[in-house]
Structure 1
Amino acid sequence: MSTFNDRERAFESKFAHDADLRFKAEARRNRLLGEWAADLLGKTGDEARSYAMSVVSADFDEPGEEDVFRKVEADLVGHADAATIRAQMAALTTEARRQIADET
């Protein structure tokens, strides 16, 4: 029975670790997306950092990434279309995962 319990604890630990990595990668992606959008909007320095953090915060409105997309899409009217924003989100998801993996 001990082997089963050990395996169960290991599985639960891996699940929690994977969920933590996903959360970190999504937050990193959102920050990178915010930095990209800030650049398109001509924001620099503290203003750009503040904007990027507002994009990260937008992810807490509802489950999934649509809340982030809607915020950035509304802010980038006239600067980028929906397809460009979604493509950037996909590319930055890959980049964020790579960065998180390199850090661990």
Structure 2
Amino acid sequence: MTTFDDREHAFEAKFVHDADLVFKAEARRNRLLGEWAAGLLGKSGDEARSYALSVVTSDYAEPGEEDVFRKISADLSGQIDDAAIRAKMAELRQTARDQIMTEI
């Protein structure tokens, strides 16, 4: 193998690794967001875990995070405004990234 081939494989491996970390962080953020919203909705225990899982799976509806935002916004309608939800999403994104980075 040439040096060019070695570098190409290294870049591909890094891309795959980075994409995996982003996926894990987004899923973690969605779970944390679901747990937060479940608390606001008065859910606890298995009901809260089930709700958090529904938030995670709602992210598979379309690319991006708007599907998750719409679910949380609809579920918390009248309890909290959209700006607060987006702020919580941003906060939990960083929390999730920090958690994932400490696990590797």
TM-score by length of 1: 0.99
Report % sequence identity: 72
User: Partners of 1:46 and 1:63 in 2: how far apart?
Assistant: 28
Mean alpha-carbon deviation: is it higher for 1-10 or for 50-59?
1-10
RMSD (Å) for aligned C-alpha atoms? 0.7
Moved over 4 A (4+): none
Question: What's the counterpart of residue 94 of structure 1?
Answer: 94
Name the residue aligned to 2:12.
Answer: 12
Gaps spanning 5+ residues in structure 2: where? none
SS in 2 for 1:77: coil
Quick check: 1:37 aligned with 2:33?
A: no
Report how far residue 68 of structure 1 moved. 0.2
- Provide the residue aligned with 1:53 in structure 2: 53
The residue aligned with 1:78 is 78
1:79 Cα deviation (Å)? 1.5
Provide TM-score, normalisation by structure 2: 0.99
1:7-58 Cα shifts (integer Å, max 9, x gaps):
0000000000000000000000000000000000000000000000000000
Aligned: 1:63 with 2:63 = yes
Aligned length: 104
Q: Any stretches of 5+ residues in structure 1 without a counterpart?
A: none
